[in-house]
């Protein structure tokens, strides 16, 4: 775990992440400016650090209703604004970028932040980036596998000699700058179904798994399949960290949490997927067994500990700003996370 900068004895890590979505606040119908949205993200990272949150992530999506397409630039600003918190992508759509360039960017963020940068590489669940950046969606599977392998190789080797289908070959290339300690943690972003969890396992690369809602136990298959595939390929699954992610909203009472989150999750899904979140399903969400993180402080603590038992993951990442959540609500969530949730989960998970 050390090479991934994870120390299990300190207990499970808690992180925040954002897709940088830029959706009108469904309650007021108003949308803040892109500038305000980005600056509030940077501000949120500072508050997260002060609250004792371990990780802060920003992801990229290249289409309407998003604003952090240049997520590495935002992460650079966060690196400058903070001093302790780990900085990650959530995720980097590696398929549409050059792995060399991605590595250069994150190595630079690692230097700015004094060794706090990580990469979470994914294929992207929205196809906007492919059309915009001229990547053939036909190659969706293969292009990602090839680029992730190359990224991993760059991270592991000083001088890289490599040949593939989707990029010019590298001949003894020295990729600069080098990160502070010569390498940085690289994770694979995995959606719900086990197929890409299995690929992550075979590659022996840490996995960040989305568990956006529905019964938490449904995602257990992916966790097990990941560890099994890692073992099959000769990796020690105990040395590979797993992170899970979910949409998150905490308030003093269950009722307040449901009322606070519903307009945003429903409006957010409506905007980016074209269908909302059914109320009936949402009403079931505070149950400990449901993966969607909505509820009172105590309910959220129970959910996270339940999932920790189920998955034995090393990190939980919460998305608290989806669907035009205003900044004061984001601040309130960070406050509860820092004051009550993190102390409770660290207490139970520290070894």
Partner 1 sequence: MKIVALAGSIVGSKTKTAMLKTVEMLKQKYPEHEVKLLDLAEYTVEFSDGRNYFEYEGDTKYVTETIMTADALIIGTPTFQASIPATLKNIFDLLPVNAFRDKVVSSVVTAGTAKHYLMVEQQLKPVLAYMKAHIVPTYVFIEEKDFLRKEIVNDDILFRLERLVEDTVLTVEAFESIRAKKDKEYDF
> Quick one: 79 or 285, whose CB is closer to partner 1?
285
Asked if the peptide bond before residue 153 counts as cis, ω within 30 degrees of 0, the response is no
What's the alpha-carbon Rg for the chain, to the nearest Å? Answer: 19
In the bound complex, what is the minimum distance in angstroms from residue 66's beta carbon to partner 1?
Answer: 13
How far apart CA 165 and CA 210 sit, in angstroms, is: 29
> Quick one: 95 or 308, whose CB is closer to partner 1?
95
> Quick one: 238 or 259, whose CB is closer to partner 1?
259
In the bound complex, what is the minimum distance in angstroms from residue 255's beta carbon to partner 1?
Answer: 6
> Quick one: 50 or 270, whose CB is closer to partner 1?
270
Structure tokens at 169: 């070959």
Count Cβ atoms below 10 Å from residue 288 Cβ, excluding itself.
Answer: 15
Longest distance between any two alpha carbons in the chain, whole Å: 60
In the bound complex, what is the minimum distance in angstroms from residue 77's beta carbon to partner 1?
Answer: 29
How far apart CA 206 and CA 301 sit, in angstroms, is: 24
Phi, psi angles (nearest 5°) of residue 269: -65, -40
Chain positions contacting partner 1, by CB under 8 A: 63, 126-128, 131, 137, 255, 258-259, 261-262, 272-275, 278-280, 282-283
> Quick one: 195 or 350, whose CB is closer to partner 1?
195
In the bound complex, what is the minimum distance in angstroms from residue 130's beta carbon to partner 1?
Answer: 9
DSSP 21-50: B----TTT-----HHHHHHHHHHHHHHHHH
83: CB partners within 8 A, 6+ apart: 49, 114
In the bound complex, what is the minimum distance in angstroms from residue 282's beta carbon to partner 1?
Answer: 7
> Quick one: 2 or 275, whose CB is closer to partner 1?
275
> Quick one: 31 or 167, whose CB is closer to partner 1?
31
Quote the Cα angle for 119-70-76, to 5°: 60
SS (H, E, C) 93-148: EHHHCCHHHHHHHHHHHHHHCCCCECEEEECCCCCHHHHHHCCCHHHHHHHHHHHH
Pairing between β-strand 170-174 and β-strand 159-162 as defined by DSSP bridges: antiparallel
In the bound complex, what is the minimum distance in angstroms from residue 42's beta carbon to partner 1?
Answer: 29
> Quick one: 111 or 127, whose CB is closer to partner 1?
127
- Taking a C-beta distance cutoff of 8 angstroms, is the pair 348, 44 a contact? no
In the bound complex, what is the minimum distance in angstroms from residue 293's beta carbon to partner 1?
Answer: 15
145: CB partners within 8 A, 6+ apart: 199
In the bound complex, what is the minimum distance in angstroms from residue 122's beta carbon to partner 1?
Answer: 16
């Amino acid at each position: 775990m050390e090479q991934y900068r994870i120390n299990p004895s300190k207990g499970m890590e808690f992180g925040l992440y954002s897709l940088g979505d830029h959706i009108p606040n469904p309650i007021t119908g108003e949308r803040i400016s892109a500038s305000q949205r980005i600056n509030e993200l940077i501000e949120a990272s500072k508050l997260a650090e002060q609250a004792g949150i371990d990780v802060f992530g920003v992801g990229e999506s290249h289409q309407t209703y998003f604003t952090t397409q240049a997520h590495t630039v935002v992460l650079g600003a966060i690196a400058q604004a903070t001093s302790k918190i780990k900085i990650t992508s959530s995720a980097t759509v590696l398929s549409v970028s050059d792995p060399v360039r991605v590595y250069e960017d994150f190595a630079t963020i690692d230097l700015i932040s004094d060794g706090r940068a990580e990469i979470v590489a994914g294929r992207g669940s929205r196809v906007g980036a492919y059309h915009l950046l001229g990547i053939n969606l036909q190659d969706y599977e293969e292009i990602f596998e090839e680029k992730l392998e190359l990224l991993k190789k760059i991270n592991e080797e000083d001088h890289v000699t490599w040949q593939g289908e989707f990029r010019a070959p590298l001949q003894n290339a020295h990729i600069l700058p080098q990160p502070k300690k010569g390498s940085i943690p690289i994770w694979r972003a995995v959606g719900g179904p086990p197929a890409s969890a299995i690929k992550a396992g075979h590659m022996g690369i840490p996995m960040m798994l989305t568990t956006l809602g529905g019964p938490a136990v449904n995602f257990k298959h992916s966790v097990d399949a990941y560890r099994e595939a890692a073992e099959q390929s000769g990796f020690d699954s105990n040395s590979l960290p797993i992170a899970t992610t979910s949409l998150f909203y905490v308030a003093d009472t269950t009722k307040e949490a449901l009322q606070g989150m519903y307009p945003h999750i429903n409006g957010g899904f409506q905007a980016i997927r074209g269908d909302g979140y059914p109320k009936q399903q949402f009403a079931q969400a505070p149950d400990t067994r449901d993966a969607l993180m909505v509820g009172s402080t105590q309910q959220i603590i129970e959910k996270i500990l339940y999932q920790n038992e189920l998955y034995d993951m090393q990190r939980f990442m919460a998305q608290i700003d989806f669907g035009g959540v205003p900044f004061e609500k984001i601040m309130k969530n960070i406050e509860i996370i820092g004051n009550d949730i993190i102390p409770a989960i660290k207490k139970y998970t520290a070894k």
